[in-house]
Structure 1
Amino acid sequence: MVALPSSQQLRYLITLADLKHFGRAAIACSVTQSTLSAGILALERQLDTPLLDRKVGKRVVFTPLGEEIVRRSRTALEALEALHQVAQAAREPMTGPMRLGVIPTIGPFILPRLVSLIRETFPRIRLSLTEDMTERLMEKLTTGRLDVLLLAMPCDCEGLETIPVWRDPFILVLPAGHPLASWPEVPLEKLVDEQMVLLEDGHCLRDQTVDICRQGNGWTGSEPDINHTASSLHTLVQMTAQGLGVGLLPQLAVDSGILAGCNVVTRPVTGGPMWRTIGLGWRQKSPRSAEFRALATVLGQLAPSGDALLPQTDA
């Protein structure tokens, strides 16, 4: 009988391919570096082929066949994990571990309520949370390190099944003495000549802000001329308060009290669809799809009044 690779060996291989570093891969797998290296070597002996190019020094470089083995290992490990998930979901729905990823422009403003709601509604779920940018969360989801994502749409969600949960309107934030602060509502085209403070590259909210302002028919090309970028919405608010520009904030952040103590004002913007959609995403054909849909329905309770996109339920 052919000796087949173990799920642990496949996990070592996939993690090494993702992180391109033996030490970090070992930490991610909760083993020593020597254990991970031995597992990879044993896998190469079983397959009777080199998976890594060891002539390139300390860099982790896979052979062409190694890249193909990694790709097939992802599929195989996902299928193995699905066996357990199918059995567990059929036996006891909404129980056991659920690894949820959330983006930084949602997480700080919703996690306390989200955690309490899940604990109350699904007490047998063991929730674990990871906050990161969309691209990295997607990678962790596709490699099996996360189960479901809470993200802002539209997004590049290839390979995911997604469901919208609620709309999160955008609000214009201005320095208190700004000329537009005297307007009860600000037309979108008025932002064309304004210096905008944006989040740094990698945040989907940055791209959404640029897309919205393009609707004012004043921004052309890849994006406007930006002098000030922020690593978080809290920093964006502080930059705005110092008169460095104006910004767009999601209502979720405003409702959480992010503006407290800052010398800024907010105004609604008219002239275009001024919102993002908050939704859940998971791997296509996941055996837990029904559970994630039930979770999405419950999370609709966190939506601002009238902005839920799904019928709400108490269980």
Structure 2
Amino acid sequence: MLSNFTLRQLAYFVTAAEEGSTSKAAEVLHLNQSSMSSALTELESIIGVALFLRRRGKGLTLTPVGEELLPAARRTLRSASEFEWLSRTLQTEDRGTLNIGCFDTIAPAYLPRIMAAYRERFPGVQVKITESNQDGLINALEGGRIEMAITYSVGLPPTLETSLVADPLPHALLPAGHRLAREKSVALSQLSSEQFVMINNSPARELIIELFERQGLQPRILHHSSNFDHVRAMVHQGIGYTLISQIPGTTPPHWGDGVVPVPLKGEHPGHAIVIAVPKDSTLTRRARHFRTVAGEFRELTGGHVPGVPTRLRG
């Protein structure tokens, strides 16, 4: 339980003990003597012990309890000073720990490249990553456990504000030997009769189903998985196809040569990938730099970064 005394009162106590009188302590702290005396009396009342013996004409003498508490008071003031210094330092220097979150299925495609650029520029910052679904990231942001999250723009509450990281385009992910793998684009109707491997994370699952429904189609779902690498591996083995969003003409390097992304025909802009932060938060300097690096990364990729299923609007 926190006590009701203040750091200012502790500073008055230490100064009075060092000066030996309320008048000298008041002079050092630029107070009037009555204010100093009242503050010391109030501190003694709060903690329930006498800190000084007061003798007219002889100034202040520490009681035995006051003698014991004085070192602790000095340590507390020192710790408070260090806390204040550190809080200011972390706002102005590129060091310390940055806690961020990322939607779990898009983390492999987004974070490694952004992290590499960030660490090269700010090697003194340790980045800790929380991977979760949309609800988990929102709870972590609102609970202050992370400063920012890379996630879908869909389904975010109005208490969060966002900045754009990527606006990926929809592709069909096919086995390298698939009959349509060499096409420049493919219509969803050309694939709807084939086995589909569904990413089982919300909102990706609902948004993919919505895409099929808008075109009057229904996927033949063979398997559900919340692990995108598992989904990709099943496509690699020719078990089925899936839908992704990514930079046109590129694939993340960890995919290998066994799968091929082919753009979907038609206009299907997707929901953006964004960095979300609480509107009422004051970001640390290191967090602001991370957001800047992510924005620069978007510019380098022409506005499209490799991703996984996002909302695909017809």
Q: TM above 0.5, one fold?
A: yes
8 Å contact 2:147–2:287 — kept in the other structure?
no
Query: SS of 1:114's equivalent?
Result: helix
Distance 1:284 1:248 in 2: 33
Look up the match of 2:119.
Answer: 119
- 1:255 equivalent in structure 2: 251
CA-to-aligned-CA distance 1:5-54 (integer Å, 9 cap, x gap): xxxxxxxxxxxxxxxxxxxxxxxxxxxxxxxxxxxxxxxxxxxxxxxxxx
2:151 counterpart SS class:
strand
Change (3 A) 1:102 1:84: farther
How has the CA–CA distance of structure 1 residues 112 and 272 changed in structure 2, closer, same or farther, with 3 Å as cutoff? Answer: same
1:108 is aligned to 108
Aligned-pair identity (%): 25
Q: 1:265 to 1:95 in 2, by over 3 A?
A: closer
Deviation readout 1:169-214 (Å, 9 max, x if unpaired): 33212234544346431123434444321112x3433333223333
User: How do residues 187-202 of structure 1 correspond to structure 2 at under 5 angstroms?
Assistant: 187-200=187-200, 202=201
Q: Offset at 1:165?
A: 1.9
Shift of 1:294: 4.7
The answer to whether the Cα contact below 8 Å between 2:194 and 2:220 also exists between their aligned partners in 1 is no
Q: Provide the C-alpha distance between the structure 2 equivalents of 1:199 and 1:85, rounded to a whole number of angstroms.
A: 47
How far did 1:225 drift?
5.4
Q: What CA distance in whole angstroms lies between the structure 2 residues aligned with 1:245 and 1:234?
A: 14
Does residue 239 of the first structure (1) align with residue 234 of the second (2)? yes
Give the distance between the partners of 2:171 and 2:159, measured in 1 at CA: 31
* Alpha-carbon shift at residue 228 of structure 1 (Å): 0.8
In the TM superposition, structure 1's runs of 4+ consecutive aligned residues that sit over 4 Å from their partners are 83-87, 289-294
Among 274, 283, 297, the alignment partner of 2:278 is 283
Q: Is 1:299 aligned to residue 298 of structure 2?
A: no
| Counterpart secondary structure, 2:221 | coil
CA gap of 1:157–1:211, structure 2 versus 1, over 3 A, is farther
Quick one: distance in 2 between partners of 1:241 and 1:115?
A: 27
Aligned-pair CA distance for 1:89? 7.8
Q: Are the structure 2 counterparts of residues 252 and 185 from structure 1 closer, same or farther at C-alpha, using a change threshold of 3 Å? A: closer
* Letter aligned with residue 259 of structure 1: W
Structure 2 equivalent of residue 205 of structure 1? 204
Evaluate the alpha carbon distance shift between residue 111 and residue 285 of structure 1 in structure 2; reply closer, same or farther with a 3 A threshold.
Answer: same
8 A Cα contact 2:170 2:268, kept in partner: no
Change (3 A) 1:308 1:122: farther
Structure 1 residues 225, 112: closer, same or farther in 2, change over 3 A?
closer
3-state SS of 2:196 partner? coil
**Alpha-carbon shift at residue 148 of structure 1 (Å):** 0.8
Equivalences for residues 222-237 of structure 1 within 5 A: 224=219, 226-237=221-232
Q: 1:255 and 1:265, CA in 2 relative to 1: closer, same or farther beyond 3 A? A: closer
1:192–1:216 Cα contact (<8 Å) kept: no
1:209 maps to a residue whose letter is I
The correspondence of residues 256-271 of structure 1 with structure 2, limited to 5 A, is 256-262=252-258, 264-271=259-266
Cα RMSD after superposing both structures: 3.6
1:78-129 CA-to-partner distances (Å, cap 9, x unmatched) read: xxxxx97996389516553320111222222333332232223334433221
Distance in 1 of aligned mates of 2:138 and 2:85: 20
- 1:49 alignment counterpart: none
Per-residue deviation at 1:278? 1.8
Cα deviation for residue 256 of structure 1 reads 2.0
Change (3 A) 1:113 1:258: closer
Counterpart CA distance in 1 for 2:144 and 2:252 is 32
SS at match of 2:240: coil
Please state how far the C-alpha of 1:131 moved relative to its aligned partner: 1.7
The one-letter amino acid paired with 2:128 is S
Question: Kindly tell me: are residues 105 and 291 of structure 1, through their superposed partners in 2, closer, same or farther at Cα, counting changes over 3 Å?
Answer: same
> Would the aligned equivalents of 2:141 and 2:278 in 1 still touch at CA under 8 Å?
yes
How many residues align structurally? 225
